Structure 1
Amino acid sequence: MTPLPPLNPLKMFEAAGRLLSISKAAEELFVTPAAVSRQIRVLEEFLNFQLFRREHGGLSLTPAGAKYLSEITPLFMALRETTNAAMGGGYRRRVLRIRSPATFAVRWLIPRLAGFHQLHPGIDVQLTASAAPLDFSREDIDAGIELGDGHWPRLIVQKLVPNELVPVMAPRAGATVPREPRELASETLLHSLARIDDWALWLRAAGAPGVNTYQGMKYETSLLSYQAAVEGHGVAMAQKALVEKDLAEGRLVMPFGLALDRGDHTYYFASPREREESVELAAFRRWLADAVAASSTTMPSAL
């Protein structure tokens, strides 16, 4: 039987990941920051991968850490609700259930969620990840994020980030960085199977018909293709808003200036039109609009 992860370290990771702060997690759990850090290291050793990046001025989740957090969050929420019910329901929390594609959740939403928790400490967000189309008739969720054209008459939709396609790669010595799109013919292209036509769309816009648009490495999600690019395995076609931190911190660079804006085909926050909007959902919608506005500041430019 596969062993359970060590539960005390798991609890501390969940708090630190949700709050993106060791000190705030320590306050919530009534332990010292050193104890939280120590327990997170125990969990990292058990999992054999790093959960956080300890950076100047803050803490951020690694892609693997963010994915793991998104998967354990519903389990912690279910455990809290089951315990509350067993105790007679005396401890009431307001729960907001949100579903998102994994790449958007890990790359954009989770790094910002601590801000929502700080503004609304009485609302628990239960975040799940899936690439399947939203189906509110079958899923126990309040709202979700979906990639598409936004023309869904039965849903209230809120446009999120621009969907600008840009090639990205790990930094290299100047002489080996492709300077013209046609030079991509000699590069390993990294594809997401969830967005398999993105390279063809960008290369057509760039006027590079001689590049095989489907050659290269293919990954189940964009999240994996972005990580492959960071590791130096090739050139990925990225949604610029989802790699902004990697670009700003130099883990990825854009070798070309062309950003192909897909217009209305982008990410939307959606909820059922026929349902009365809860106070919790309205608060999340307002916060999300502010987070989107804040993220539309100056982005890194091409090399």
Structure 2
Amino acid sequence: MARRDSLPPLNPTRAFEATGRLLSISKAADELAVTPAAVSRQVRALEDFLKAPLFERVRGGLVLTAVGARYLSELMPLFATLREATEAIVSGSQSNNVLRIRSPATFAVRWLIPRLASFHRLNQNIDVQLTTSSAPLNFALEDIDAGIQLGDGDWPGMNTQRLIPNELVPVAAPMLTLKRPRQLESQTLLHSLARADDWGLWLAAAGVSRINALRGMRYETSLLAYQAAIEGHGVAIAQKALVEKDLADGTLVIPFGPTLDRGAYTYYFAWPSGKRQTAALRAFREWLATVVQS
């Protein structure tokens, strides 16, 4: 006998999609602006409708069952499409002209923001909304259209476009008057927590084995480490493309080589694959390609 209706009830399905995506009833409740008890009832109602368990309730949280994981993977793109279609109607044509991008703070401040004015001059109808974080990009959980990420560029579910070369060089204030790598033994090494291996990689490339690559001062971002170097607090290991202005105006110098090129491990512009690209995203990608080549 044919089932009376193969479409699931919308509110329970919406509650399951949020709970499964966040793996938390309380977080789903916050997102949907309802109580956790209401979310639990809705999820149970969907399980009753499907006649299949969607979650296992384990100590400390929820785990999707095989059925739940498969169902969630099918629902998430449908809900994303539904949100996009709704926003397009509610916001009119303006929704296509908003581009939400996330970037690591150092890259945003030292490379992207100084160049954004040229994008705005060429695309005055596109509103770029830029946020910063060093966390890995997750387009399923974040309300962003694209992002910038450091790595090898081979990330599942993402298209990528390579940006700057990742060339590592030591940098210091000119007052330190350094001439040879072995002088680093008497200097404070300035580290970024987000790039903890850089000093070790550079020292190995320079053939310097007597220096402990882990000693020195640690900062949350390279941005802070570069500023500490400018203030004369020690020697930072820098991505050359991100300190170009400081090198040009003399607030930082490269006291000695070598330059270590990390090759494919660098910054990439990334956006979700399998999703329709807006005109704003295409325009930004084309602008980035032009800027990188210049």
**Please, what TM-score do these two structures have when normalized by structure 1?**
0.65
User: Residue 167 of structure 1: SS of its match in structure 2?
Assistant: strand
| Equivalent position SS for 1:147 | strand
Amino acid at match of 1:216: G
Residue matched to 1:211:
211
Task: Give every structure 1 segment of 4 or more consecutive aligned residues whose post-TM-superposition deviation is greater than 2 Å.
Answer: 88-93
CA deviation after TM superposition for structure 1 residue 194, in Å: 0.6
Q: Which amino acid aligns with 1:171?
A: P
Q: 1:167 aligns to what? A: 170
In the TM superposition, 1:218-257 aligns within 5 A as: 218-257=218-257
Equivalent residue runs for 1:105-254 within 5 Å: 105-172=108-175, 177-254=177-254
Instruction: Tell me the distance in 1 between the aligned counterparts of 2:241 and 2:267.
Output: 11
Tell me what 2:284 maps to: 284
Are 2:170 and 2:257, in contact at CA under 8 Å, matched by a contact in 1? no
Q: Distance in 2 between matches of 1:124 and 1:245?
A: 27
Matched residue type, 1:247: L
Structure 1 unmatched runs, 5+: 1-84, 295-303
Corresponding position: 1:104 with 2:103: no
Report how far residue 89 of structure 1 moved: 5.5
The alpha carbon displacement at 1:263 in A equals 0.5
Deviations 1:60-97 (A, max 9, x none): xxxxxxxxxxxxxxxxxxxxxxxxx9xx9689361000
2:71 alignment partner in structure 1? none
Following superposition, the deviation at residue 275 of structure 1 comes to 0.5
| Other-structure match for 1:270 | 270
Contact 2:206 2:257 in 1 (8 A): no
Residue type of the partner of 1:101? Answer: P
Structure 2: give runs of 5+ residues left out of the alignment: 1-86
The answer to whether the 8 Å contact 2:99/2:145 transfers is: yes
What is the identity, as a one-letter code, of the residue corresponding to 1:222? S
Residue identity opposite 1:115 in structure 2: S
**Matched residues in 2 for 1:241 and 1:290: separation?**
16
Separation in 1, partners of 2:91, 2:149: 34
- Which of the residues 92, 106, 129 maps onto 2:94? 92
Q: Secondary structure at the match of 1:92?
A: helix
- Secondary structure in 1 aligned to 2:277? coil
| Structure-2 change in CA distance of 1:246 and 1:275 (3 Å) | same
The 1:96–1:154 alpha-carbon spacing in structure 2 relative to 1, beyond 3 Å, is same
Name the TM-score, length of structure 2 as normaliser: 0.67
- Kindly provide the CA deviation profile for residues 77-127 of structure 1, in whole angstroms up to 9, marking residues without a partner as x: xxxxxxxx9xx9689361000000000000100000000000000000000
**Matches of 1:92 and 1:165 in 2, distance apart?**
41
Give yes or no for contact 2:137–2:149 (8 Å, CA) kept in 1.
yes
Q: Report the structure number with the largest CA radius of gyration.
A: 2
Task: Give, in angstroms, the shift of residue 291 of structure 1.
Answer: 1.0
- Give % identity: 65
